[in-house]
Amino acid sequence: MRRYDPEKRRITLSEVLPPRSRRFQVAHQTALLTQTEVLDSLGLDDELNSESRALRRVVLANYFAAAVLMPYEPFLASAKEHRYDIELLAHRYRTSFEQVCHRLTNLRRPGNEGIPLHFIRIDVAGNISKRFSASGIRMPRFSGACPRWNVYTAFLQPGAINVQISQMPDGQAFFCIARTVLKNSGGFGQPRSYLSI
């Protein structure tokens, strides 16, 4: 999807990426090129292996990219103004549904927090590929959540937003929305996969 040639100082992006993903990839690469000291200095004293450090670097560069595309203060103000309307925020910031959902879970600055939210991304087989919980909901680590959770039933209505109040065994209740997103991998004949967010 993205390749950087350090000799030519050129970023090459896949032509199948939509504009919102291209912007994100450019911002991600910008973080890797301009924020090296910060990315490398965070957590220097921890005991992570090299693979975990590399993953942390990717996560931090993704956070940087999201902050460039959806700056904290204006994005939080827009989220409050539009009552956390994810599709409207995606249009306003020229980002994807998934990018907005992910960014909303990161609005946790002390004294200026957004609503505590959770995020999970699964494929049609129930495999979890991304998860965050700032809401307190207990997330399954790999799979095995309730099959009636709307993140699973969203596959029955691709593209439609599904709303649900999820009641936990301990009595806690969570307001959940879910929608499928299509991940294209190319042209005619190439596999398409739906994910649920």
CB atoms within 10 A of CB 145: 17
For 166: left if phi > 0, alpha if psi spans -120 to 50, otherwise beta; the answer is beta
Residue 195: which of 167, 158, 144 has the closest Cα? 158
pTM, whole model, 2 decimals?
Answer: 0.89
At residue 3, the pLDDT reads 92
DSSP label at residue 186 = S
Mean pLDDT of the chain: 91
Q: Kindly state the average pLDDT of the residues 136-152.
A: 80
Q: DSSP letters of 11-62?
A: EEE-TTS-HHHHHHHHHHHHHHHH-HHHHHHTTTTS---HHHHHHHHHHHHH
Comparing C-alpha atoms, which of 135, 127, 195 is closest to residue 165? 135
- Residue 18 vs residues 5, 23, 162, 183, 186: alpha-carbon distances, Å: 21, 9, 25, 10, 11
Predicted confidence (pLDDT) per residue in 31-76, tens digit? 999 999 998 888 666 788 888 888 889 999 999 999 999 999 999 9
Range 97-102 average pLDDT: 97
* pLDDT on residue 121: 94
Assess contact for 117 and 104: CB atoms under 8 A: yes
The 10s digit of each residue's pLDDT in 158-192 is: 999 999 998 888 888 999 999 999 987 777 777 78
- Please report which helix (H) or strand (E) contains residue 101, including its range: helix 97-105
- Is residue 143 very low, low, confident or very high in pLDDT (cuts 50, 70, 90)? low
Examine the pLDDT at 135 and tell me if it is beyond 70.
yes
| Mean pLDDT (whole number) for 111-132 | 92
